[in-house]
Amino acid sequence: MRPKVKLQTSVWACLVIAAALICNGCGKKEDSGKIEAESSVIQNQGSDTMLNLAQAWAEEYKNIEPAVSVEVSGGGSGTGIAALINGTVDIANCSRKMHDDEIASAKQNTGKEPVEFLVGYDAIAVYVHKDNHLNEISLQQLAEVYGEGGTATKWSQLGVTVPGCSSDEIIRVSRQSNSGTYEYFREAVLGKSRDFALGSRDMNGSKDVVDLVAHTPCALGYSGLGYNTPEVKMLRVAKSAGETAYPPAVETTLAHTYPIARSLFMYSLGAPTSAIQKYLDWIRADAGQKVLEEIGYVPLPAAERTPAQTPGTSAQ
């Protein structure tokens, strides 16, 4: 009877060991899958001003890090911030700074405080139809066009007759209120105490503003420098009447002579993971800034960039 007991014991021991090996293998596979999912997909949402830039960055980075997929969507700075507050994105693109109450909400909802990364600059260009004879405008004139109780409603009040605009009416093209461009333009042009006049055509995206102006001789709109096309004209802008008016450009933005320019930000929720940090480092280094400049935005000065990296490392 002893051999029979030994056989049963041996069979039972083998079954136990086999089951343990199978379970251990399953656990490792599951953990590996989690790590791969976390490191290979970066959810990126927000500013429409930055949408074409964010897409260009994502496409270029795919060539450098094929295992990493950056999924980009727009909707406006406010939409990206809301997603960050809810913890549903890894990076929020913003053409304005996050407000204190938004930072507090993110910390309350997720236990993590957003971390800010300056990634470049943008000049908000004032666009008119390519056949419009107007070449420059002051901040005060813009305020009278866009602001509540504004006195400039006709092109003739700005000293021009516009071909194809028989009504002489200035058709104001603006952005929706969840846009960082909308918020920055209001503060920079109208001031904190004045609001936009009703009756403007409020567009969902930066490209939509330029497209409408291109097809509307009576229109005047504002949008990012990077959305310029041959079908529109960008006006020179003066801080005050009688002062020198400057064109929106890289040089005038960095020299702080163009009066409607702002910073562009990316926010992570808490300290970014290694994959996200590596992506942000690349964006802020020479390679990422070259992409930004080629599209028409204003790059970070050399002193503000992330140092060049060697493969497999991440700048601190």
Would you kindly state where each structural domain of the chain is located, as residue ranges?
41-120+262-304, 123-261
Strand partners, 44: 72, 91
Domains 41-120+262-304 and 123-261 fall in the same CATH topology:
yes
Q: If DSSP states are collapsed to H, E and C, what string results for the chain?
A: CHHHHHHHHHHHHHHHHHHHHHHHHHHHHHHHHHHHHHHHEEEEEECCCCHHHHHHHHHHHHHHCCCCEEEEECCCHHHHHHHHHCCCCCEEEECCCCCHHHHHHHHHHHCCCEEEEEEEEEEEEEEEECCCCCCEEEHHHHHHHHECCCCCCEHHHHCCCCCCCCCCECEEEEECCCCHHHHHHHHHHHCCCCCECCCCEEECCHHHHHHHHHCCCCEEEEEEHHHCCCCEEECEEECCCCCCCECCCHHHHHCCCCCCEEEEEEEEECCCCHHHHHHHHHHHCHHHHHHHHHHCCECCCHHHCCCCCCCCCCCC
* Pair 277, 314: CB distance under 8 Å: yes
Return the pLDDT at 82. Answer: 97
The whole-angstrom separation of Cα 95 and Cα 106 is 18
- From the list 70, 73, 215, the residue with the least C-alpha distance to 131 is 215
Confidence of residue 12 (pLDDT cuts 50, 70, 90): very low
Return the pLDDT at 40. Answer: 82
Q: Over 50: is that where the pLDDT of 316 sits?
A: no
pTM (2 decimals)?
A: 0.77
Return the pLDDT at 192. Answer: 85
Q: What is the mean pLDDT of residues 86-114?
A: 96
| Distant-in-sequence, close-in-space partners of 199: CB < 8 Å, separation ≥ 6 | 172
Q: Which CATH superfamily is domain 123-261 in?
A: Periplasmic binding protein-like II (3.40.190.10)
Q: Over 50: is that where the pLDDT of 206 sits?
A: yes
CATH architecture group of domain 41-120+262-304: 3-Layer(aba) Sandwich (3.40)
Q: Over 90: is that where the pLDDT of 19 sits?
A: no
Return the pLDDT at 178. Answer: 87
Q: What is the mean pLDDT of residues 190-215?
A: 95
Q: Over 60: is that where the pLDDT of 15 sits?
A: no
Strand partners, 174: 202
Q: Over 70: is that where the pLDDT of 38 sits?
A: no
